[in-house]
Amino acid sequence: MPEVAYHAVALDTLRLVAADDLIFAYHRASGITHLLAPPAPEILNILAEAPMRADELLVQLAALYDLADGDLAMLVARLDELIAAGLVWRA
Amino acid sequence: MDRVVKTDGWLLARALCDPASVATLDANGWTSLLTIARAEQLIGSLAHRLEGLPMPESAARILADARGSAAQGRVLALWEAEMARRALASLGCPVVLLKGTAFIAAGLAAGVGRSIGDLDILVPTDRLDAVERALIAANWEWVKPDPYDDAYYRRWMHELPPLIHRDRDRMIDVHHTILPLTARITPDAAALIADSVALENGLRILSHPDMLIHAAAHLFADGDLAGGMRNLWDVHRLVEEFGTEGVFDRAAHHGLSVAMHRAVRLAAALYADPDGVQLRLSRLDRLYLHRLTARDGWGRAVRPLLRQAFYMRSHLLRMPPLMLARHLWTKWRGGHHAI
Amino acid sequence: MKHTHQLRIGPVGFRIGSDWAAPIAQLKTLYRDYPSPHGDIADFNVRLFATRPWRRLVRPSVMIGGDYILPEAAPLPLAQGLLAAEMAMNLQMALGQRRYLLIHASVVERDGRALIMTGESGAGKSTLAAMLAARGWRLMGDEFALVDPTTGLIHAFPRLVSLKNKAIHVVSAAMPKGRFGPLLAATPKGDIQHLVPDARAIAAMDQPAMPALLLFPNFGFAPAIRDVGAGEVFVRLTQASTNYVAMGERGFTALTRLVREIPAKAIDYPDTGAAMTAVEQLWTGL
């Protein structure tokens, strides 16, 4: 049984404004404003290109961004937050 | 040209029916119209009907704001539907959108400028527990009812007790039929779902005849006619868009013939033919219209005795008399006031 | 409604109806120099009414009604009818305003630029605004900053300034020529007295201003000034806005522009004198 993959909203559905280290994101489809701090913007960037499993995402994050070695459990927790926020979903 | 227009709900009905008629309004007239429209939750619909017509600048600005407000309300309503879809997707059961959210999701005329409050969905009775669990798992919570209300709801009402989303603060009402189980009329819930139509995203809406019947049932059996002008505007827009073919037969199947005929007549009386040229209205119809238009230029609900009469009638329709007595007694003891 | 009045505060017109003459008479007096709503069509309606017909006379208490209401609101005694009217107008704005982003703040203007002061109740926004106005700044408002999402400009909403408890004495001492409303003693928020904005504030109510400085004042501490980071500013402003969510993307545009373009400082101050010194210092340094 294929493991579930994470999908993210297309980046053009977000209105993004950067200030200091933060990104303010207005999600047009939901009307919700999010404050995104690393690794959330990086996760969204990667998943917006292509959906993938959590373990693959972990590898991509380490490769593309200089993110300190997180563990899978922490990544899944971040992804759960993004799911609750409506920016990511599992399929 | 100097026709005397009463300052009550008819002022709003006339403007919706014949937008050009607002040309004769003075500042006072506009103020009353806008106030009544707000009170009847129809200012968004009115704003769309009147868009582009010549009018005082202030009125134009206020109505432009109303259109903007409705547009944002639309975004939030569709998002609630989407999040409910995500929460319930794995259950594989039909999820049917009802009322305003359905009109908007399906791009119907009835959805233009409509204000949306809660998300209403219809699911099969036998999946109710699973739906409840899935919503709670996705962070909806009970709006804390008192224990009596909760038992009453579960046993007799046509919906789960209300749920509200923890983060988004929006309510969802999960129905399993369209009238309370205690009502004298019992619509065929399974047929409603069987005939529902799928949208692109997998959520469903009622068939057009069932949508009309639901609006009629909702208006006459589920409430004391508060919000009736909006309900009948929905009926009018649905009839305009889809006609009434098959509707009355279907209504008969659900046991809602009388309500359906009355809804179509009253919607036409308000919004298609307010001068009553072609319609034949009974005395009871006229009483209904009088109750429905009971607003003054300050947006206050007027005609209190008539309102009370209809309120009591709606409870009679919903509950057998003994149950009603017990229910009202318990509520009164709890410090609520029944009327 | 037996007694009525219409007035305009900045871009917003109100129609107020009352079961009693007194609150309307007070409004007419205090707002006597204010214009009517544009085109005589009010944006919002407010009603002061008795719960039951006999409560107009017996233990009269004022229920607040209008286009937008809080269902659980408690009535006020008739003696505080003016307060009820002010609260009701604020409520219409808070719940119904859709053209401008609202931030719970006081605003004063100098040289076409606006100073916005926002914070919790009791932070001293109204007092500071009144005192700065006494010093020559133009008062734009003490309750709401109106931000135009298209232009980024701040529009004035100079309603009656609401002064509470000690602030009443501080301000009336500093403004011996000021016009004040009646002293409303022992309201749910203590003693309240309203200050009528001066002639200049009223005459200039339709002139917007460019926002130039955002302050988060904090009363009752030794003087201190610190920068406030963008994230904190954003979060605090959304908390201080009653209509941010309803405004949708336009609200986001207005707020992010403020966050990115305007310096934001938190000032702790022990008394209004210290606060005004800090304000002048920061303003000069812009």
Residues C109 and C83 in one domain: no
Nearest Cα of chain A lies from the Cα of B165 at a distance, in angstroms, of 11
Mark which of C96, C116, C134 sits at the end of a domain.
Answer: C96
pLDDT at site B339: 35
Query: Amino acid identity of B58?
Result: S
d(CA C177, CA B100): 56
Q: What is the mean pLDDT of residues B239-247?
A: 95
Summarised one tens digit per residue, pLDDT across range B300-326 is 988 888 887 777 776 666 655 566 666
What percent of chain B is predicted at pLDDT more than 70?
83
Residues C132 and C216 in one domain: yes
Average pLDDT, chain A: 89
Say yes or no: C166 and C235 in one domain: yes
Q: Are residues C280 and C144 in the same domain?
A: yes
Kindly list the residues of chain B whose beta carbon comes within 8 Å of any beta carbon in chain C. Answer: 27-28, 30-31, 34-35, 38-39, 56-59, 61-62, 65-66, 68-69, 71-72, 75, 298-300
Using CA coordinates, name the residue in chain B closest to A28.
B75
Whether the CB-CB separation of C118 and C129 falls below 8 Å is answered with no
Instruction: Identify whether residues C27 and C159 lie together within a single domain.
Output: no
Q: What is the pTM of this model?
A: 0.92
Tell me the pairing of strands C44-49 and B119-122: unpaired
pLDDT of residue C44: 98
Provide the percentage of residues in chain A whose pLDDT is more than 70. 95
Q: Which residues have a Cβ under 8 Å from the Cβ of B9 and sit 6 or more positions away?
A: B36, B40, B229, B292, B293, B294, B295
What is the Cα–Cα distance from B80 to B83, expressed in whole angstroms?
A: 5
* Listed residues C32, C62, C96: the one ending a domain: C96
* C84 and C133 belong to one structural domain: no
Are both C199 and C236 inside the same structural domain?
yes
Shared domain check, C119 and C34 = no
Distance CA C165, CA B87 (A): 51
Mapped onto helix, strand or coil, the DSSP state of residue B98 is coil
- Count CB pairs under 8 A between chains A and B: 21
CB contact under 8 A, B31 and C43: no
pLDDT of residue A38: 85
Alpha carbons within 13 angstroms on the beta-carbon side of residue B283 total: 0
- In chain A, which residue's Cα lies nearest the Cα of C228? A20
Q: Classify strands C3-9 and B204-205 as parallel, antiparallel or unpaired.
A: unpaired
Say yes or no to pLDDT of B337 above 60.
Answer: no
Closest CA of chain B from A28, distance in Å: 8
Tell me how many domains chain C contains: 2
Contact A35 C238 (CB under 8 A): no
Let me know whether C151 and C31 are in one domain: no
Average pLDDT over residues A53-76: 85
Same domain, C31 and C161: no
Cis before A39? omega within 30: yes
Collect all residues of chain C within an 8 Å Cβ-Cβ radius of residue B57. Answer: 38-39
How close C157 gets to chain B, by Cα (Å)? 17
B337 or A40, greater pLDDT: A40
- Per the listing, tokens 């002064």 go with C163
Least CB–CB distance from B76: residue in A31, A84, A89: A31
Distance (Å) from the alpha carbon of B136 to chain C's nearest alpha carbon: 24
Average pLDDT over residues B219-235: 82
Using the beta-carbon criterion (under 8 Å), do A30 and B86 form an inter-chain contact? no
Measured CA to CA, the distance from residue C262 to residue C266 in angstroms comes to 13
pLDDT at B145 over 70: no
> Is the distance from CB of A24 to CB of A37 less than 8 angstroms?
no
Give the contacts of C200 (CB within 8 A, at least 6 positions apart).
C138
How is chain A split into domains, by residue range?
6-12+38-90
Q: Which residue from B128, B163, B165, B131 is spatially nearest to B145, judged by alpha carbons? A: B163
Longest pairwise C-alpha distance within chain B: 62
- Of the candidates C96, C115, C144, which is a domain's last residue? C96
Residue C255 near residue C273, CB atoms below 8 Å: no
Do both C124 and C242 map to the same domain? yes
Of residues B264 and B178, the one with the higher pLDDT is: B264
Least CB–CB distance from A17: residue in C245, C248, C256: C256
C250 and C170 in a single domain? The answer is yes
Tell me the ipTM for this assembly.
Answer: 0.94
- Name which of C100, C106, C109 is nearest C147 in CA terms: C100
Average pLDDT value over all residues in chain C: 95
Task: Kindly list the residues from chain C whose CB atom is less than 8 angstroms away from the CB atom of residue A31.
Answer: 245, 248
Neighbours of B43 (CB within 10 A): 26
Chains contacting B (3 or more CB pairs within 8 Å): A, C
Domain that holds residue C34: 3-96
What's the confidence (pLDDT) of residue A31?
95
Tokens at A56, concatenated: 């693959």
pLDDT at B182 > cutoff 70 = no
Chain A CA closest to residue C258: A19
- Chain C: closest CA distance from residue A65 (Å): 22
